[in-house]
Amino acid sequence: MIRPTRFPLTFRHFAIYCLIPSPLMPGRTSLQIATARILQGGIVALLALSQCFLVSCSFPAAALEDGADVRTVRPGVVYRFIRDSRGPWQIHVVEADLRAQGLYVETVHARDSVYGLEETSSMAKRIDRPGARVVAAMNADFFEKTGETVNNQVQSGTIIRALVPVYAADGEYRGIRSQVGFLRDGHPFIERCVFEGEILCRGGGRAAITGVNVVRSRTDLVLFNHYAGIVAFGDSSHGSLSAYRFRSLGRAADTVIAYLSARVLMPDSVRIPAEDLVLASFRSTHLFDSLGVTVGDTVRFVLRFRPSPGPIRSLAGGIPRLVKDGESMVGTSGFLEGASEEFSSKRHPRSGIGFSADNTRVFFIVVDGRQRFSAGMTLPEFADLMIRLGVAQGLNLDGGGSSTLVVDQAVVNSPSDPSGERPVGNAMVLVGPDWTGGGAHGE
């Protein structure tokens, strides 16, 4: 693992030492003279670069067995490539200062569909646009063969997937795992978020919405949006009893205002436009009659997750949570969140996301694995790495052949699948404004 440095001497301290005359001699020592000559002509630039690293990155002092390469991607964003033969490990870290102007973290789903699969690098290129450049991207949640992620997802404030919570006899929910989220003000958090939805009607009628773009049982009232793709209402797989189409009029915080535009004929395959919502009842053909809703009526959809410290901009899942308040979660009660012990104890390629104690810095971390030059990490090793990099809150994401890190539109790690980069269900992306200082968008 990464050991503490023996000599916590910064470049600035060393340069000052070399330039101050010795009190025991009228001139400088030979070491000082030789060092000063080496530094001559480049000291100003190097001091500026040192200061840039200290402000925008602030990596804790660490002595790596083999060393590291560090480059500034843009102001406030640093990419670090670490080599350590003790694993052996190849470690890739993007650290971003969320206080830097215009930087924020977003999620993106493959093919813009709940059922899509797409390479992380492809998603990064697809959503990159003037004014909102993808600085870095990393694979995110675990997923099914269909591309459905195993946990909730929010993109730009819109819910792509909200799982139907399963409650036990004691009233506690089951099957909900850790998720990482970012509020609209950039504040990051890690919680086991549970979806809560409701339709509120003018006449006072109301009903609980159990999920978004997902069906778990015949008792559900599910809201579908354009991320659902083509939905076959009334077929044997959904078995919906009634469905109604709504046209969105706008959104305020966690509430969408819409009006009822039509009833969906049964059975009917529907591609939902971006401005439409479809509410499908799997419990009663008379639900909408009981709510007193008719075509043209305006309703409110209240869609939120708890716990949440505020309005969510982006949200994605992973398992398990590795670091809480700067301490490893390994070995604590319920640590694995349903994952197997073998998943934790064997070395695999790993992807993870974390942020600093003051919530100002976010880390995208990928460890190569299943290759001669990099064995991958166990979850205890990965948690320890996060802490040594300065992570106070950290979450493990999908790993193995899915582990991919993209910086400035180039894959910088070595994916373990023989075929190369693996298509995945969704990704986390670091987005920033246009920058003319070099790199992919500055040349």
Chain-centroid distance of CA 439 in Å reads 23
Evaluate if residue 1 carries a pLDDT over 50.
Answer: no
Tokens read off for 211: 């999920």
Going by DSSP bridges, is the β-strand pair 255-263/173-174 parallel, antiparallel, or unpaired?
A: unpaired
Side by side, the strands of the sheet bearing 393-397 are: 67-74, 77-84, 89-97, 361-367, 350-355, 393-397, 321-324, 327-328
Question: What is the model's pLDDT at position 269?
Answer: 79
235-247 residue pLDDT tens = 545 555 788 999 9
Rounded-to-integer distance, Cα 336 and Cα 319, Å: 7
Report yes or no: 315 and 181 within 8 Å, Cβ to Cβ.
yes
Using alpha carbons, select from 319, 344, 343 the residue that is nearest to residue 331: 344
184-228 residue pLDDT tens = 999 999 999 999 999 999 889 999 999 999 876 666 789 999 999
Name the average pLDDT for the chain: 84
Indicate the fold that domain 197-306 takes in CATH: Jelly Rolls (2.60.120)
Evaluate if residue 69 carries a pLDDT over 80.
Answer: yes
Question: What is the model's pLDDT at position 215?
Answer: 73
Q: What is the mean pLDDT of residues 107-112?
A: 98
124-165 residue pLDDT tens = 999 999 999 999 999 999 999 999 999 999 999 999 999 987
Report yes or no: 362 and 391 within 8 Å, Cβ to Cβ.
no
When mean pLDDT is compared across 105-109, 269-273, 409-413, the lowest value belongs to 269-273
> Pick the residue with more confidence: 411 or 334?
411
- State the pLDDT confidence band at 173, using cuts at 50, 70 and 90: low
Tokens read off for 392: 């106070």
Rounded-to-integer distance, Cα 279 and Cα 224, Å: 6
Percent of the chain with pLDDT over 70: 78
Instruction: Please state the domain extents for the chain.
Output: 1-56, 58-193+309-443, 197-306
Amino acid present at 369: G
Question: What is the model's pLDDT at position 286?
Answer: 72
Evaluate if residue 31 carries a pLDDT over 60.
Answer: no
Report yes or no: 101 and 77 within 8 Å, Cβ to Cβ.
no
Evaluate if residue 46 carries a pLDDT over 60.
Answer: no
Chain-centroid distance of CA 7 in Å reads 35
pTM of the predicted protein model: 0.83
Report yes or no: 219 and 227 within 8 Å, Cβ to Cβ.
no
